[in-house]
Amino acid sequence: MIESSIKSSVEFWRWEEYNRIMPGKKWTSKDLITAGVDVGSVGSKAAIMVNGEAYSWGITRTGSNSPESAKKVLDWALRDTGLKVSDLKYIVGTGYGRVNVPMANKAITEIACHAKGANYIWGSSVRTVLDVGGQDIKAIRSDETGRVVSFLMNDKCAAGTGRGMEVFADLLKIPIEDIGGISLKVDEEPPPVSCTCVAFAKTEAMGLLRKGWSKEKVLAAYTRAMAVRMANLINRVGLEKELVITGGQSKNIGIVSRIEVILGVKCLPMPNWRENGLDPMVAGAFGAALFAKALYEKAQKP
Amino acid sequence: MIAVGMDLGTQRVKAVVLKDGAVMSRGQAFSGFDPTDAAEQAVEEALKQVHLQKADVAYFVATGSAIEMAPYANSTVSMMSADAKAGIYLFQNARTIIDVGAEEARAVKCDENGVMVDFVVNERCAAGAGTFIEAMARALEVKLEEIGPLSLKAERASPINASCVIFGESDVVSLIHRQESKPEIARAVFDAMADRISSMVHRIGVNPEVIVVGGVAKDVGFIASLNRKLGLNVLIPDYPDYAGALGAALIATSRAKEVQK
């Protein structure tokens, strides 16, 4: 009875929570082990680094209580590693809930952490980072060391954010991890929708479906409108190659490929995070763990 | 001489019947999926009350977001011009009219003849319109007509991300889980909306006599927040939701006279 009621209420917005230990990596008690905990509005990410090299990470959904979410995701990242929280020499908290990471030695803004993390994942050629989070979009310019030069942010509107995409997944009853691919299954790009407000889209999209538009076409029109918003933000901060995308939407091929078309540039290739590559959704936590290492080393100097 | 104005809004269609420029009756219907049908119903309801028929009507004017779906219309008028005309008819000294509907908000500046001279619109974001209040009432699990009075019980506003309906919904849910006071959440909703509307109005300049029309003008919570924001006591006519239809009907009256000449 209970089981059937759970099955009937599929949560299409729900993305995969997982943890990973980098294959072949080991730690010893002599190593400098640090952590970054990125408590976002929608997802929480934690990364463990051994001597500044990615060792393990975890991704979970942020609950209504930030300190609990921080603890939960750090436990995920430590699972099966043999490490305990007390083995971590220094922990940096970041993200929307960064002041609510109880075990953190210091909090650093997610903008600095994403620039640093993108530099770590893709290397020193990265100059522009688009971070599409659950509740905001940031376009960040950085130098060859991953230091922030300038940035712009949209945090007043759900259009284009991960949360906005979750609403579409639910509305069209398509699992969130499939919507990017499905949005590309159109022969040609439909006319863009005039209004990007996600609240209005709830009714407008239904109207388009009733008019006979396919789900693919509706999704293509809205994904395009969202990509235009993101591209505009990048243009305003000033696009300099190389461009990379971090955050949950970096996994949305419908968004990434349209941004590339609109801006006329290719992003640096996405790491194969499903196999043994680094996950761009964890970029902020990687950056935080790197800051943790630097801060620990600085504190050790006489 | 009978003239009818129809306002085909995103949520409701309103109709006003005038006889020689004086209001005789009003009617309304939900727009639904067929605004044409809704407009026919609203007009019929209004005419029936005063025992009139469509054939008795000298002139129909339509306005509203679904203007191209209007039945009977001899001509149309923009929503801004309709607001301006109605505003000056309702309050002779009004020079700024704020119209807050279900999916759109406008501010219109007019001259002493009720002719629109400037306007500003918020039409692409649900956080500046009635939809926002509806979504927040749903999240708070209170009826739409209850959220306004509820907000008046609060001394302060809860901190919520009220810049976006989507973010606001999830914030309200987590505040309720933390057992925050519902009146304070409701107050935050109206303060945020009043903030948006007030900054929109300031873009065209505020005159001391400001009138507020549209369905949202009936919400006491919104009006209290807007008064605090603007530092004014805004004027609310009776039947504020019929202002657009009234403006259209007033224009229908003058156009009918021109035709008769």
Q: Which pair of structure tokens corresponds to residue B105?
A: 């908000």
Of A196 and A38, the structure prediction assigns the larger pLDDT to: A38
Q: Do residues A40 and A13 lie in contact, with contact meaning Cβ atoms separated by under 8 Å?
A: no
**Cβ-Cβ contacts under 8 Å, B171 against chain A:** none
Residue of B nearest to A193 (CA): B124
Q: From the CA of A159, how many Å to the nearest CA of chain B? A: 9
Domain count across chain A: 2
User: Is A148 in the same domain as A259?
Assistant: yes
User: Is A106 in the same domain as A22?
Assistant: yes
Across the beta sheet with A18-21, the strand order is A18-21, A53-61, A43-50, A33-39, A90-94, A106-107
User: Is A19 in the same domain as A69?
Assistant: yes
Structural domain contains residue A46 = yes
**Cβ-Cβ contacts under 8 Å, A157 against chain B:** 125, 163-164
Q: Is residue A90's pLDDT more than 90?
A: yes
**Cβ-Cβ contacts under 8 Å, B192 against chain A:** none
Kindly list the structural domains of chain B, giving each domain's residue range(s) and its CATH number in brackets, ordered by start.
1-79+239-261 (3.30.420.40), 92-236 (3.30.420.40)
B164 touching chain A per CB within 8 A: yes
User: Is A52 in the same domain as A171?
Assistant: no
Q: Please indicate whether, in this complex, the C-beta atoms of A167 and B166 are within 8 angstroms of each other.
A: yes
CB pairs under 8 A between A and B: 44
User: Is A107 in the same domain as A185?
Assistant: no
User: Is A98 in the same domain as A138?
Assistant: no
Please tell me the number of Cα atoms within 13 Å of B155 on its side-chain side: 0
A20 touching chain B per CB within 8 A: no
- Report which of A30, A57, A31 is spatially closest to residue A117, judged by C-alpha positions: A57
User: Is A18 in the same domain as A85?
Assistant: yes
The pLDDT score that the predictor gives to residue B75 is 97
Structural domain contains residue A294 = yes
User: Is A137 in the same domain as A59?
Assistant: no
Q: Nearest 5 degrees, angle CA B219-CA B224-CA B225?
A: 100
- Report which of B215, B134, B192 is spatially closest to residue A199, judged by C-alpha positions: B134
Q: H helices of chain B, where?
A: 35-49, 79-90, 130-140, 144-151, 165-177, 182-202, 220-230, 243-260
- Work out the pLDDT band at A156, boundaries 50, 70, 90: confident
B199 touching chain A per CB within 8 A: no
The pLDDT score that the predictor gives to residue A192 is 75
The pLDDT score that the predictor gives to residue A118 is 98
For residues A164-186, give the mean pLDDT: 92
User: Is A83 in the same domain as A195?
Assistant: no
Q: Which domain holds residue A200?
A: 126-263
CATH number, position A200:
3.30.420.40
Q: Count helices and strands (H / E) in chain B.
A: 8, 9
Q: B2: helix, coil or strand?
A: strand
**Cβ-Cβ contacts under 8 Å, B127 against chain A:** 199
Q: Which pair of structure tokens corresponds to residue B146?
A: 């209850």
The pLDDT score that the predictor gives to residue A285 is 97
Structural domain contains residue A179 = yes
Structural domain contains residue A258 = yes
Structural domain contains residue A268 = no
Give, for all 261 residues of chain B, the pLDDT tens digit. 999 999 999 899 999 999 999 999 999 999 988 999 999 999 999 999 999 999 999 999 999 999 999 999 999 999 999 999 999 999 999 999 999 999 999 999 999 888 999 999 987 889 889 999 999 999 899 999 999 999 999 998 887 777 888 888 888 887 888 888 999 999 999 998 999 999 999 999 888 789 999 999 999 999 999 999 999 999 999 999 999 999 999 999 999 999 887
Q: Is residue A8's pLDDT more than 70?
A: no
- Work out the pLDDT band at A2, boundaries 50, 70, 90: very low
A64, A157, A167: residue with CB nearest B174: A64
For residues A271-276, give the mean pLDDT: 88
- Residues in Cβ contact with B160 at an 8 Å cutoff, skipping those fewer than 6 apart: B168, B171, B172, B175, B185, B188, B189, B192
pTM to 2 decimals? 0.82
Q: Is residue A6's pLDDT more than 50?
A: no
**Cβ-Cβ contacts under 8 Å, A167 against chain B:** 166
Q: What percent of chain A stands above pLDDT 90?
A: 70
User: Is A155 in the same domain as A259?
Assistant: yes
A197 touching chain B per CB within 8 A: yes
For residues A169-175, give the mean pLDDT: 90
User: Is A181 in the same domain as A240?
Assistant: yes
Q: Please indicate whether, in this complex, the C-beta atoms of A199 and B165 are within 8 angstroms of each other.
A: yes
Q: Compute how many other C-beta atoms are within 10 angstroms of the C-beta atom of residue B56.
A: 14
Q: Do residues B30 and B8 lie in contact, with contact meaning Cβ atoms separated by under 8 Å?
A: no
Q: Is residue A290's pLDDT more than 60?
A: yes
User: Is A72 in the same domain as A131?
Assistant: no
Structural domain contains residue A198 = yes
The pLDDT score that the predictor gives to residue A1 is 35
